[in-house]
Amino acid sequence: MTDIAESSKGAELFPEFKGLFKLIKLEVDGLSDRQLDYTSTRWTWSDWSIRNQLSHMASLIPRWLVVRWGNELFPQGNHGIRDLDSITNSTSDRRLDDEIYWGKNKILCLLNQYLVLACDVLRERSVGYLRSRSINRDATPQWKSMSRAHHTGITAEGDPASGTMTLEATFRHIYFEEVTHLYNIQRLKKAQSLPLSVKVPEVGYWMLDDWDRSEP
pLDDT of residue 179: 98
Task: Provide the pLDDT for residue 209.
Answer: 96
Q: What are phi and psi of 113, to 5 degrees?
A: -60, -45
> Is residue 153 a part of any domain in this protein?
no
Residue 115 lies in a domain: yes
Is residue 119 in a domain? yes
Domain for residue 161, yes or no? no
Full-model pTM: 0.96
Single-letter code of the amino acid located at 46: S
Residue 111 belongs to some domain of the structure: yes
- Is residue 3 situated within a structural domain? no
The torsion angle over the Cα atoms of residues 125, 76, 105 and 185, rounded to 10 degrees, is 50
Report whether the peptide linkage leading into residue 160 is cis, meaning its omega lies within 30 degrees of zero. yes
DSSP one-letter string for 42-88: SSGGGSS-HHHHHHHHHHHHHIIIIIITHHHH-TT-TT--TTTHHHH
Kindly give, in sequence order, each residue whose CB lies less than 8 Å from that of residue 182, ignoring residues fewer than 6 positions away. 23, 24, 27, 57, 198, 200
CATH number of the domain where residue 128 is located: 1.20.120
Number of domains in the chain: 1
Domain coverage including residue 51: 16-134+167-207
Q: Which residues contact 15 (CB under 8 A, 6 or more apart)?
A: none
Reading the chain (216 residues) residue by residue, the pLDDT tens digits are 458 999 999 999 999 999 999 999 999 999 999 999 999 999 999 999 999 999 999 999 999 999 999 999 999 999 999 889 888 889 999 999 999 999 999 999 999 999 999 999 999 999 999 999 999 988 888 888 899 999 999 998 888 878 999 999 999 999 999 999 999 999 999 999 999 999 999 999 999 999 999 999
Task: Report if residue 214 sits inside a domain.
Answer: no
**2 inside domain:** no
